[in-house]
Amino acid sequence: MTHLDLDGSDGGGQLLRTALTLACLSERAFEMTGIRADRPTSGVRPQHLACVEAAATLTEATVEGDAVGSETLTFRPTRPPKGDTSVDVGTAGSVALVFDTVLPLAVGLDAPVSVTATGGTDVKWAPTFDYLRRVKLPLLARYGLAAAVDLHRRGFYPVGGGEATLHVAPLVAPAARTRVQGVR
């Protein structure tokens, strides 16, 4: 199967994170060009590189263009996601956004995975660790996602240095519901 050609020029890091997640789940390669081209500092930033590294390790992917500043990245997963990994953003880049690359993988897991990330746990322009732990994960649990986070230490801008571990189990389908909350 050929790889997908993706244009990342009209968006930010979320385009790359979503492409990584979907590639891991589908085991389909992609090449993204123009990564974050409309940003003041275009290309892959350290937090995006940490997402690439985590996804690559979990799927034994081959990667080209995995460098800070690269505006083109090719990602070729070779297996379904499994195992554990650690990544270091190297800056105060968001640990929560690294975890956002991994959380959706629950739908394709056969066994639990864990990702330990070092970087910013509470920084501007990203969800805080407490938001992830107290809002997002409980909401996702209502739909069958079994995930937990452990905070080892907090990290703030400009230094970072925070560390947390995300544990994600295979998705468990929620029990059949006779009605969706708020809809009868």
Mean per-residue pLDDT pooled into runs of 10, the chain (184 residues): 90 95 97 96 96 98 98 97 97 97 95 97 95 97 95 96 97 52 40
- 168 SS3 class: strand
144: tokens are 């069958």
Examine residue 175 and state whether it is found in any structural domain, yes or no. Answer: no
The b-or-e profile of 151-171 (16+ CB within 10 A means b, else e) is beebbeeeebbbbbbbbbebb
Examine residue 182 and state whether it is found in any structural domain, yes or no. Answer: no
CA distance 105 to 91: 25
Contact (CB, 8 A) for 94 and 127? yes
Examine residue 9 and state whether it is found in any structural domain, yes or no. Answer: yes
Examine residue 63 and state whether it is found in any structural domain, yes or no. Answer: yes
Report the Cα 31 to chain-centroid distance in Å: 17
Residue bearing tokens 């920084």:
123
26: tokens are 């589908």
Boundaries of domain holding 101: 4-168
What's the pLDDT score for residue 2? 82
CATH number for 162: 3.65.10.20
What's the pLDDT score for residue 58? 98
Examine residue 42 and state whether it is found in any structural domain, yes or no. Answer: yes
Examine residue 99 and state whether it is found in any structural domain, yes or no. Answer: yes
Examine residue 177 and state whether it is found in any structural domain, yes or no. Answer: no
Examine residue 141 and state whether it is found in any structural domain, yes or no. Answer: yes
Domain count, the chain: 1
Q: Any idea what DSSP says for residue 94?
A: B
Signed CA dihedral, 80, 83, 89, 92: sign only = positive
